[in-house]
């Protein structure tokens, strides 16, 4: 088990120590456990590069906005669908279930996004990611466990359904909300493909798309060539960018771990 | 006679009233739950736009769609694109790559998390178990771009793999792994297992936690060893979860983890890395052959649906668990 853990961690460690080494020296290879010539030069270049900073900012913005709106919207719809007295409930559920098994595929989806004028728009990160029927099912199984008396009492006090949802359901559903928020947040943070196909404007691309473009064979032209000097190489920039894009998630994740394990169980066993 | 007719008339009237009553009643009920309906309809509207409109958009597979005009004005092409696809030189290569990668992922990547969960469950120290879990989930949270970068760094000419192999004098010259089609499948499958092993195990651990402790106590009284308990209590206990996940895995066999392959794919390893999804992307988005590409996507969606139904049917017949 310990061996397995080392095996799991080592690739990440390897990238970290190589990124902390002087760039041209690292090209000789042979750095395994500690940097040979310690240097933060690559990080300085990365953190001074305007295009990387802007990409980071876009990523933060889309992760925060996208996660909040997704959780609120999906939970709201799930709450409506969880109520037994909802007229047309079966129809709504069939409508959703079918989407889990069949889809139009990439091309019609691309054409839809184009027709909605979401190409080269920040909203392409938010609106199409507003809802997920899969997450709705996870919410549903949680909402079913909430005692009905809670809603009844609020209703007697004259609250409407939207108010009940915001004032009562959201506060008592924090474990499942935290879980879905974590899942959504991670996938928003890590998503590069939306940026690759729907965004041409470099000022709107998230950092993962930026990284994709320098990792894949297509582009090393992204970086301002003037900023690359002898101690920093394309490779070391790449590694430093990888570390910078990953660090936030790695730092947040131990704190959220207890939520997602719990939430995963909520979603999986009963669903 | 007269009273009879009258009775019939009133009966009909009452019936009409009742009918109107229910329609009006239904409307009244809907109006009464207007907030709830509003919330529900917003969700339905999103699904109609983002799920069902693309399903309708699939008809461009039967048309010659041009970018400038709306779909409805494009001339019909019948099955032309499907016929062309059957004659495409890339067809067999694509099918081989898609199914091949998925098959080995299933063969190796499906049982490993189960084994891992079983062993993890046997660990006595709670602290150590938690630590192992935390570490093994970690790669799941890295994006495929970062992982692609890690893989590229490892396999680069000065990367650690070449370095170690050269020091051990197993090879004389560095190998460009990502440029050699022969290595591609192993790279994809290996990196996928590395990323998802710990994460996939969570769901089995949850299932194991759900097995009744009384069964273990009974087995202990009967003198079962730890291994026997694992074999005769835990494994049957998680059979349902395993079946469900197997259905999902089998039905996803045409989905070759696009995110991952897209990152690792390049023109040199194309003969081993060109899977259906990559091809759809290349013909559709990159070369703008929308109708042709949509036709391929449609075939894939239908095959995936059929496979899901078949897998579901089989597991239901075999051991009474199914998705629906």
Optimal mutation site among B31, B34, B39, B287, interface A, most CBs of chain A within 10 A: B39
A268–B203: do the CB atoms touch at under 8 Å? yes
Residues 89-148 of B with CB under 8 A from A: 116, 119-120, 123, 128, 131-139, 141-146, 148
The per-residue pLDDT for B101 is: 92
Residues A209 and A192 sit within 8 Å (Cβ to Cβ): yes
Both ends of chain A: CA-CA distance in Å?
31
pTM strictly above 0.80: yes
For residue B159, the 8-state DSSP code is: S
Q: Nearest residue on chain B to A113, judged by CA atoms?
A: B50
How far apart are the C-alpha atoms of A35 and A222, rounded to whole Å?
A: 27
Closest chain B residue by Cα to residue A129: B50
Q: Which residues of chain A have pLDDT under 50?
A: 218-227, 267-271
| A73 contact residues in B (CB cutoff 8 A) | 42-43, 46
Residues of B in Cβ contact (< 8 Å) with A264: 202-203, 206
Q: Within a domain: residue A11?
A: no
CB B203 within 8 A of CB B116: no
Residues of B in contact with A238 (CB under 8 A): 149, 153
β-sheet bridge partners, residue A86? none
CA distance A97 to B98: 26
Model pLDDT, residue B293: 92
Q: Which CATH number does the domain housing residue A143 bear?
A: 1.10.3720.10
Chain A and chain B share a number of CB contacts under 8 A equal to 251
**Rounded to 5 degrees, what are φ and ψ at B63?**
-130, 170
Task: Check if B303 contacts A (Cβ < 8 Å).
Answer: no
CA-based angle A143:A149:A155, to the nearest 5?
95
Cα–Cα dist B143/B32, whole Å: 46
Q: Is residue A215 part of a domain?
A: no
3-state SS assignment for residue B175: coil
User: Which candidate from B55, B153, B158 shows the least CB-CB separation from A104?
Assistant: B55
Indicate whether A10 belongs to any domain: no
CB spacing of B137 vs A257 below 8 angstroms: yes
| A213 interface with B at CB cutoff 8 Å | no
Cα angle vertex B184, ends B182, B188, to 5°?
Answer: 150
Q: What is the pLDDT of residue A220?
A: 45
The whole-number pLDDT of residue A80 equals: 94
Give the distance from residue A15's alpha carbon to the nearest chain B alpha carbon, in angstroms.
Answer: 7
Give the pLDDT of residue A229: 54
The answer to whether position A137 is within a domain reads yes
pLDDT tens sequence for chain B (324 residues): 555 666 676 666 666 655 556 778 888 888 888 889 999 999 999 999 999 999 998 889 898 887 777 777 788 888 888 988 888 888 888 889 999 999 999 999 999 999 999 888 888 888 888 888 888 888 888 899 999 888 888 887 777 888 888 888 888 888 888 888 888 999 999 999 999 898 888 888 888 888 888 888 898 888 888 888 888 888 888 888 888 888 888 888 887 788 899 988 888 888 888 898 899 998 888 888 889 999 999 999 998 889 888 888 888 887 777 776
Number of domains, chain A: 1
CA-CA distance, B194 to A53, in Å (whole number)? 30
Which residues lie below 8 Å from residue A266, measured CB to CB, with a gap of 6+? A138, A141, A142, A175, A176, A179
Any domain includes A217: no
Neighbours of A231 (CB within 10 A): 17
Helices (H), B123-157: 126-137, 144-155
Whether chain A has a CB inside 8 Å of the CB on B308: the answer is yes
Chain B positions in Cβ-Cβ contact with residue A235 (cut-off 8 Å):
153, 156
- Reduced to 3 states (helix: H, G, I; strand: E, B; else coil), residue A21 is strand
Q: Which domain holds residue A129?
A: 52-199+247-270
Tell me if residue B110 falls in helix, strand or coil.
coil
Q: Is residue A31 part of a domain?
A: no
* Rounded distance between C-alpha atoms, residue B292 and residue B62, angstroms: 9
Torsion from C-alpha of A41, A44, A46, A47, nearest 10 degrees: 170
Helices A174-190 and A133-143 pack at an angle, to 10 degrees, of 170
Residue A156 in any domain: the answer is yes
Specify the 3-state DSSP secondary structure of B76. strand
Question: Residue B64: which residues within 8 A CB-CB, separation 6 or more?
Answer: B74, B75, B76, B77, B80, B291
- Give the length of chain A: 271
CA within 13 Å, CB half, B249: 19
8 Å CB contact of B146 and A136: no
What token pair was written down for B220? 């202990």
Task: Specify if A130 maps to a domain.
Answer: yes
């Amino acid at each position: 088990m310990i061996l397995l853990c080392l095996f799991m961690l080592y690739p990440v460690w390897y990238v970290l120590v190589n990124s902390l080494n002087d760039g041209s020296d690292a090209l000789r290879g042979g750095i395994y456990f500690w940097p040979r010539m310690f240097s933060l030069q690559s990080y300085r270049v990365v953190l001074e590069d305007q295009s990387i900073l802007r990409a980071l900012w876009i990523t933060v913005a889309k992760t925060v906005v996208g996660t909040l709106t997704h959780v609120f919207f999906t939970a709201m719809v799930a709450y409506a669908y969880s109520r037994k007295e909802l007229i047309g409930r079966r129809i709504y559920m069939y409508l959703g279930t079918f989407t889990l098994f069949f889809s139009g595929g990439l091309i019609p989806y691309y054409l839809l996004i184009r027709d909605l004028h979401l190409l080269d728009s920040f909203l392409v990160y938010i609106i199409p990611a507003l809802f997920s029927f899969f997450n709705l099912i996870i919410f549903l199984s949680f909402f079913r466990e909430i005692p009905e008396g809670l809603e009844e009492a609020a209703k007697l006090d004259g609250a409407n359904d939207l108010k009940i949802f915001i004032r009562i359901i959201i506060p008592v559903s924090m474990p499942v909300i935290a879980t879905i928020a974590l899942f959504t947040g991670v996938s928003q943070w890590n998503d590069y493909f939306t940026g690759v196909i729907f965004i041409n404007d470099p000022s709107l691309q998230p950092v993962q798309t930026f990284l994709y473009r320098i990792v894949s064979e297509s582009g090393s032209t992204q970086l301002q060539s003037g900023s690359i000097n002898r101690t920093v190489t394309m490779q070391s920039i790449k590694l430093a960018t990888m570390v910078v894009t990953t660090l936030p998630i790695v730092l947040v994740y131990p704190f959220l771990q207890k939520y997602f394990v719990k939430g995963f169980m909520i979603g999986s066993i009963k669903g | 006679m007269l009273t009879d007719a009258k009775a019939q008339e009133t009966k009909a009237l009452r019936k009409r009233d009742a009918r109107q009553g229910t329609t009006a009643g239904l409307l009244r009920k809907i109006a009464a739950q207007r907030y709830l309906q509003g919330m529900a309809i917003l969700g339905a509207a999103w699904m109609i736009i983002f799920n069902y409109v693309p399903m309708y958009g699939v008809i461009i597979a039967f048309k010659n769609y041009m970018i400038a005009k709306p779909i409805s004005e494009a001339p019909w092409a019948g099955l032309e694109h499907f016929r062309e696809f059957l004659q495409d030189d890339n067809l067999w290569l694509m099918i081989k790559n898609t199914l091949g990668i998925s098959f080995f992922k299933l063969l190796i990547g499906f049982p490993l998390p189960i084994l891992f969960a079983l062993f993890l469950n046997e660990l006595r120290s709670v602290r150590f178990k938690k630590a192992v879990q935390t570490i093994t989930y970690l790669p799941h949270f890295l994006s495929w771009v970062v992982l692609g970068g890690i893989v590229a760094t490892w396999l680069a000419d000065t990367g650690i793999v070449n370095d170690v192999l050269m020091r051990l004098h197993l090879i004389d010259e560095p190998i460009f792994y990502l440029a050699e089609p022969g290595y591609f499948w192993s790279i994809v499958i290996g990196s996928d297992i590395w990323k998802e092993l710990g994460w996939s195990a969570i769901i089995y651990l949850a299932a194991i936690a759900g097995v009744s402790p009384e069964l273990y106590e009974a087995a202990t009284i009967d003198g079962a060893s730890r291994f026997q308990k694992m074999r005769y209590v835990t494994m049957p206990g998680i059979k349902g979860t395993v079946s469900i996940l197997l259905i999902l895995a089998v039905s996803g066999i045409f989905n070759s983890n696009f995110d991952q392959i897209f990152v690792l794919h390049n023109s040199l390893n194309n003969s081993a890395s060109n899977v259906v999804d990559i091809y759809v992307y290349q013909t559709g988005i990159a070369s703008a052959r929308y109708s042709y590409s949509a036709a391929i996507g449609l075939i894939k969606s239908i095959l995936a649906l059929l496979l899901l139904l078949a897998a579901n049917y089989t597991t239901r017949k075999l051991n009474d668990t199914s998705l629906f």
